[in-house]
Amino acid sequence: MSMNNSPNVFLDPNANRFQVNIINESHDNSETSQEDVGSDPPHYEETSFTDETHNRLRISYRPGKRELYDNFLQNGEKTEASLHPYDTHTKMYYLQTFGHNTVDPVPKIDYYRNTGSVSGNKLSRPSLLEIHEQLAKNIAVSTGSVERVANGESSAGDETAVSKEEENKTGLVKFGWVKGVLVRCMLNIWGVMLFIRLSWIVGQAGIGLGVIIILLATMVTSITGLSTSAIATNGFVRGGLGIIVIGLSVVVTTLTGISMSAICTNGVVRGGGAYYLISRSLGPEFGGSIGLIFAFANAVAVAMYVVGFAETVVELLKESATLMVDESNDIRIIGTITVVCLLGISVAGMEWEAKAQVILLVVLLVAIANFFIGTVIPTNNEKKARGFFNYQASIFAENFGPDFRSGEGFFSVFAIFFPAATGILAGANISGDLKDPQSAIPKGTMLAILITTVAYIGVAICAASCVVRDATGNINDTVVPGMSCNGSSACSLGYDFSRCASQPCDYGLMNNFQVMSMVSGFGPLITAGIFSATLSSALASLVSAPKVFQALCKDNIYKGLHFFAKGYGKNNEPIRGYVLTFVIAMAFILIAELNTIAPIISNFFLASYALINFSCFHASYAKSPGWRPAFRYYNMWVSLFGALLCCGVMFVINWWAALITYAIELFLYIYVTYKKPEVNWGSSTQALYYINALDSALALTTVEDHVKNFRPQCIALTGAPMIRPALLDITHTFTKNNGLCICCEVYTGPRKLCVKEMNSGMAKKQDWLTKNKRKAFYAAVAAESFRDGVKSLLQASGLGRMKPNTLVIGFKKDWRNATATQVENYVGVIHDAFDFELGMIIVRISQGFDISQVLQVQEELEKLEQERLALEATIKENDFEEGKSGICGFFRKASTLNISRHETKKESTINTIQSMHVGEFNQKLLEASTQFKKKQGKGTIDIWWLFDDGGLTILIPYILTIRKKWKNCKLRIFTGGKVNRIEEEKLVMASLLSKFRIKFADINIICDINIKPHKESWKFFEEMIEPYRLHESCKDITTAEKLKRETPWKITDAELEAFKEKSYRQVRLNELLQEHSRAANLIVLSLPVARKGVVSDYLYMAWLEILSKNLPPILMVRGNHKNVLTFYS
């Protein structure tokens, strides 16, 4: 089939590509009527996927209909304009698609939503069964129905969707990219460092390294930002160290920004910011550990910004000589008052906080402009004495190189500056409050990085071009003619600040943190800018920390922190998180030293950025089809470089703090891994598991099988694994951490019902295995008969070299009451296993394996207990609501008494039922079902190795003895031999086992296997097979032939006579087993093989029955007669 993509194909206005009409439900075509649902259905002329810069999907519509679809495709947001004429939630209908009526729907975004989607209801498309099966009469399919269970989500999600729609109606606040991301990021990046530390940084590092520090920090965070956007759309240079310091910061932030942009555009982003992005990409282990660290870092950042604000206020108080106590304590007092006020704004709600941010941004922009204006306003003598001389080439040249003092270095300066670059996540941290996070986060973040980087570099260069490093502030320190000077730029400009080399000075880039106020055109505006920058950054961090922490707590990764998940108000404000953040911030405000606080959070933020970058790399490396970020300007290797750069910078800044950070992260990672939270986010870690498993499986196919590497790989016919736990337990004992174990179930009956039941139970039964720590797979088939199903499993199970080589089944204890077909199927399965060259293990325990009746009783008791608890809850509720006094209260008390009586009756009924069930309860069966879970005491495993089957009969018990539960059991070997060669036979067997390196406690040579059994035993065997004998020798030939045709499964006299010696042997073996192995913990016995088509099914079952009757747990084993043991190295 070919498609003509010519634009002329659809030019005919009457040729619709598809149309959708409502069709009345009817099977009589003559009565089928159609409803007009739109006068002019959409005519799709051409679809183009080539121009992604404008639209990911460009569609040409008929004239006049374009406006109906203008708002349809943005993230699937559903508006009134996006409603299709055939959308309905109330009408049963079929779709007329591509010219014929069908229940098969056209693609629609509502089918792909999560159950708890905010932007619209999740609809359920017709199931494959509904489309594939014949359509029943009088049944129509509603595509408006809400799917109850999808992707592991329960119906509770529907209520979430309804509640969220109600929140939308009541005025839920959502922000666009400017107000929600750009403004926040700019305010947070233009923090305390811009006004009161940037001049000091450029003084220490010089213009060159200072700019590099900014660029490096920005580059790392930008790469992280771009990687995050992808996820949410699916060297040392000598010279001008100040510029390098700034450049380094720019590099860090830019790399981080790129990574973040990639992550953000790989799907719908919800609340939680960096935690959400990392956890949904790398899984709960990484997300849970970094989420806690990141939330804590933001809480500490509040303290840093508030201390910066308080320092400025204290400087003003100092100038006016109005200090309250002293500098440090004044910072603590002012910081405490400030953080309380900020907490009040935050608790008032996001709307108030957003308004405050806009006002603060305006003030900040005016302050920055005021600084640049001030650099060109002619200076005065007072400012010259303080080191400000307007733009001077000599000052620029002098300040270009580094001049580190007081033990500072490049990376210590970088550590102090880097928190200024951490604001890039301010927008992402409130992702749950954004209208369109996928678009807003990359756009707002990257633009904010660009604007703020230019501003930082501009301020750094301007300040370092106008202000000298040291100044006394004394207007009399001018250069007198004939006086020697130190040759600095200040000397050439008429000022002598040489005494600053021997004693501390208060002014200049190195000494005065308020340089920007001095340089500016109007000093108070810079003070206002400092207030704006510090308060806005503190406010953003105060909002970010609780939001991230709330998202972490909602996921319930740390059970003890779920208390903080609760939100309040229409915006689900994390009030409890605000209080916790306040407490942490207060603790660090008491330090009252900005240079001490800043490096503490640098490592925490760098760890977060490293993981965001690694998330982008990991998702790309895993090559999951689900990794489809709309943001294309990222590269996995650049993201990896960003992650490594972040890690390297952490150690260079402060190696011991980096080690502590990683130790905390590792501890949290191990904790979350151990707890195994029940979440499934489709992380790239899961994708990589699959890739690694696939690669390993493919690599394994190139490896030839070798006897030294043989391991039992078992198909266990357990049915549902919880029904026959003992059979699973014994199989799991010798396959755990050693071989493949597949629990198999065969569904027989009407195919439609079987397939439905099978599909619905697959996940539940695999979950049961996982929950009960059984390292096994579950597989099921639907077949016409039990034997056909097992045959399919034997042929198709496994993958490459990981294919089953042994079949494990339980002994059919009820074979004498079963139908001939059931017995034939059971024995046929054994024959099929041998035909496919599989080993065979038949397990028998005295009580049998099936505990379905026990489970049914337990289920009934649980239901009754739930009813009782519900009744008690109702009574307590009624007691609580009972009136305090009056006639109403009296009647309420009376009704309570009636309920109490009813409860008493109900409890007595429950007790009666419970006692009745306990009477019926088979305690022995329950104990038998758990016997292989218990640690086996000192005892023996008796191995009756009668026939050489390749060694499986001896290998299975050996594997058992190396398990913890069976290690106290010793192996006893029993084998046949001649009376006159007992010692020789023992030596031969001992030599063989020692070559196989299998330890044993004893070897017994049985010489009387082939003698006749006791008369009582033989009589029991004859009585057992009597109902299944044909007795044709006692009848005439015609009657005998007729009986053979009617009951071909019966044991003929000829057959019994032909296999009399073999029957004797089975009966005699049981006598010997009773004699020697009655007290063994486990018996492993060579399984007799019946020739196919020669030995009847009932005779073979009789052999197995008499062989294993009245014995401890017994494994009848037969290998496939290929070596599984070797004594060669």
Q: How far apart are CA 810 and CA 1113, in angstroms?
A: 11
Q: What percent of the chain clears pLDDT 70, i.e. is strictly above it? A: 74
Q: How far apart are CA 105 and CA 125, in angstroms?
A: 7
Q: Report residue 910 as tokens.
A: 């429950």
Which has the higher per-residue pLDDT, 830 or 168? 830
pLDDT in tens, 684-701: 777 778 888 888 888 888
| pLDDT confidence tier of residue 472, bands split at 50, 70 and 90 | confident
Task: With a cut of 60, say whether residue 224 has pLDDT above it.
Answer: no
- pLDDT of 1009 reads 87
Q: Report residue 669 as tokens.
A: 């990672």
- pLDDT of 271 reads 63
Q: What is the dihedral of CA 946, 948, 949, 954, to 10 degrees?
A: 70
Query: Vertex 368, ends 533 and 536: CA angle to 5°?
Result: 15
Concatenated DSSP letters of 1071-1091: HHHHHHSTT-SEEEEEPP-PP
| pLDDT confidence tier of residue 308, bands split at 50, 70 and 90 | confident
On whether the CB atoms of residues 707 and 1120 are closer than 8 A, the answer is: no
E-strand spans in 775-879?
777-783, 806-810, 839-844
Q: What is the dihedral of CA 844, 845, 846, 852, to 10 degrees?
A: -100
What 8-state DSSP symbol labels residue 971? E
Name the nearest CA neighbour of 916 among 857, 867, 871.
857
Q: How far apart are CA 683 and CA 619, in angstroms?
A: 8
Quote the distance between the C-alpha of residue 977 and its chain's center: 60
Task: With a cut of 90, say whether residue 1063 has pLDDT above it.
Answer: yes
| pLDDT confidence tier of residue 416, bands split at 50, 70 and 90 | confident
For the chain, give the mean pLDDT: 75
Q: What is the dihedral of CA 45, 47, 52, 55, to 10 degrees?
A: 50
Residue type, 433: D
Lowest mean pLDDT, pick from 246-260, 420-434, 800-814, 877-891: 877-891
Q: What percent of the chain clears pLDDT 90, i.e. is strictly above it? A: 17
Which has the higher per-residue pLDDT, 413 or 1119? 1119
Residue type, 1048: P
Residue 324: C-alpha distances to residues 229, 305, 330, 854 (Å): 48, 21, 6, 78
pLDDT in tens, 83-101: 343 343 333 344 444 445 5
Phi/psi for 408 (5° steps) reads -75, 155
SS (H, E, C) 483-532: CCCCCCHHHHCCECCHHHHCCCCCECCCCCCCHHHHHCCCHHHHHHHHHH
Dihedral over Cα of 365, 371, 375, 379: its sign: positive
Task: With a cut of 80, say whether residue 350 has pLDDT above it.
Answer: no
Going by C-beta distance under 8 Å and a sequence separation of 6 or more, which residues neighbour residue 72?
Answer: 81, 82
Q: How far apart are CA 838 and CA 70, in angstroms?
A: 64
Dihedral over Cα of 731, 736, 741, 743: its sign: positive
Task: With a cut of 90, say whether residue 349 has pLDDT above it.
Answer: no
Q: How far apart are CA 730 and CA 57, in angstroms?
A: 58
| Other C-beta atoms lying within 10 Å of the C-beta of residue 567 | 18
Residue found under tokens 């569904």: 747
Residue 595: C-alpha distances to residues 91, 506, 715 (Å): 67, 18, 65
- pLDDT of 1065 reads 92
Q: What is the dihedral of CA 1013, 1014, 1019, 1025, to 10 degrees?
A: -20
- pLDDT of 1116 reads 95
Question: Between the ranges 348-357, 369-378, 492-501, 854-863, where is the mean pLDDT highest?
Answer: 369-378
On whether the CB atoms of residues 224 and 259 are closer than 8 A, the answer is: yes
Going by C-beta distance under 8 Å and a sequence separation of 6 or more, which residues neighbour residue 73?
Answer: 55, 56, 57
| pLDDT confidence tier of residue 776, bands split at 50, 70 and 90 | very high
Q: How far apart are CA 425 and CA 297, in angstroms?
A: 12
Q: How far apart are CA 733 and CA 736, in angstroms?
A: 6
Lowest mean pLDDT, pick from 153-157, 283-287, 815-819, 1088-1092: 153-157
Q: How far apart are CA 264 and CA 273, in angstroms?
A: 10
Residue 883: C-alpha distances to residues 877, 890, 894, 947 (Å): 12, 8, 12, 83
